[in-house]
């Protein structure tokens, strides 16, 4: 585990080469604006989580049409902002659209600076090239970092570990190193198109902060009837993750996250093998990781305009 420390209820780990200490559990922003979660409950969840030691806040420009960011912004009033490491994501691949989305996120979150901004849904093999084009989104984030609008830059994706590796390669070719990378890390992933096996070792080698998500896959993994929620969270915490981001839409699920931390002990190889043996058959074809095998989790595929246009010089190639 990367530089683990603790208080009475939470573990804290170092976020890659940034030196930042963050809670080992991160609060997922998408769930804060689901249909059954009203604004009052969302604010209560966020503030209770912070009061008990969760410092890492996850969000995205596109979550629930911006409502997730708006609600988190309200929850972070009254000096709660000072207690957290705030992350959000933008979908834009062009410099213009990325800059616009970032400014909208800043406004919704009611902050002048976001600790970490990540390129969201790096799913396609062309995404890294679009992000690192001279007119691409990373140029916007670098300018925003210089202007004090953000501190660190990362990327996320849930489709294919080889796309993550490609993103790292294209970044290196452009002389850039990410601060973080976010990906699905769970008891099923090890058996199918595995981010754990392919991407995590490279991130550890480069000292890039590992952000795990989909530890329960929005509850889908539990439908396999092979593992418990606590086992899922323990498995993800046992990996070299700086943060395990989990969706919390009620106070009972928040309590579950703290229970997972309270009962967590580093697992030995035999314990890991035993847990993975329980999920091997169910996980073999990606059935319980539909974000890898279908498009239903791909919000940018359903809203391609969020990405922005390709540079004009490339569009002109079609008419040449």
The model carries a pTM of 0.96
Q: Residue 48: give its domain's CATH number.
A: 3.20.20.100
Torsion on CA atoms 131, 136, 141, 146, rounded to nearest 10: 130
R_g of the chain computed on alpha carbons:
19
Q: For the chain, what is the mean pLDDT?
A: 96
pLDDT value of position 318 = 87
CB 50 within 8 A of CB 80: yes
Given CA atoms 165, 168, 172, 174 in this order, what sign does their dihedral have?
positive
pLDDT value of position 35 = 95
Dist CA 245 CA 88 (whole Å): 12
**What's the maximum distance between 2 C-alpha atoms anywhere in the chain?**
65
Q: Within a domain: residue 200?
A: yes
Q: Within a domain: residue 122?
A: yes
Q: What share of the chain is helix, strand, coil (3-state, %, to 5)?
A: 50, 15, 35
Q: Which residues of the chain have pLDDT under 50?
A: none
pLDDT value of position 56 = 98
pLDDT value of position 320 = 59
Q: Within a domain: residue 18?
A: no
Q: Within a domain: residue 3?
A: no
Say how many domains are in the chain: 1
Range of the domain at 246: 23-319
Classify 277 as helix, strand or coil: helix
């Amino acid at each position: 585990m990367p530089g683990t420390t603790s208080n009475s209820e939470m573990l804290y780990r170092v976020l890659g080469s940034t030196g930042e200490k963050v809670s080992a559990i991160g609060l997922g922003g998408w769930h804060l604006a689901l249909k059954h979660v009203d604004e009052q409950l969302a604010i209560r969840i966020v503030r209770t989580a912070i009061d008990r030691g969760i410092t890492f806040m996850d969000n995205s420009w596109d979550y629930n049409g911006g409502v997730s960011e708006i609600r988190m912004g309200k929850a972070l009033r009254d000096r709660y902002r000072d207690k957290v490491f705030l992350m959000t994501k933008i979908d834009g691949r062009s410099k213009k659209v990325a800059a616009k989305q970032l400014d909208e996120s800043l406004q919704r979150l009611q902050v002048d600076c976001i600790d970490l901004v990540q390129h969201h849904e790096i799913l396609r093999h062309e995404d890294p090239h679009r992000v690192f084009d001279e007119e691409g989104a990373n140029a916007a984030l670098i300018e925003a970092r210089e202007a004090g609008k953000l501190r660190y830059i990362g990327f996320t994706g849930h489709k294919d570990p080889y796309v993550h590796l490609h993103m790292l390669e294209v970044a290196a070719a452009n002389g850039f190193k990410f601060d973080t990378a976010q990906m699905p890390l769970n008891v099923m992933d090890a058996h199918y198109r595995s981010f754990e096996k392919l991407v995590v070792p490279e991130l550890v080698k480069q000292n890039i902060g590992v952000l795990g998500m989909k530890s329960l896959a929005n509850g889908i993994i539990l439908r396999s009837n092979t593992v418990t929620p606590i086992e899922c969270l323990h498995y993800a915490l046992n990996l070299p993750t700086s943060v395990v981001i989990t969706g919390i839409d009620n106070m009972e699920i928040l309590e579950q996250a703290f229970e997972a931390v309270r009962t967590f002990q580093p697992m030995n190889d035999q314990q890991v093998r035993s847990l993975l043996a329980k999920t091997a058959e169910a996980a073999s074809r990606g059935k319980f990781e539909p974000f890898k095998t279908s498009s239903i989790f791909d919000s940018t595929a359903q809203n391609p305009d969020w990405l922005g246009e390709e540079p004009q010089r490339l569009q002109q190639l079609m008419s040449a």
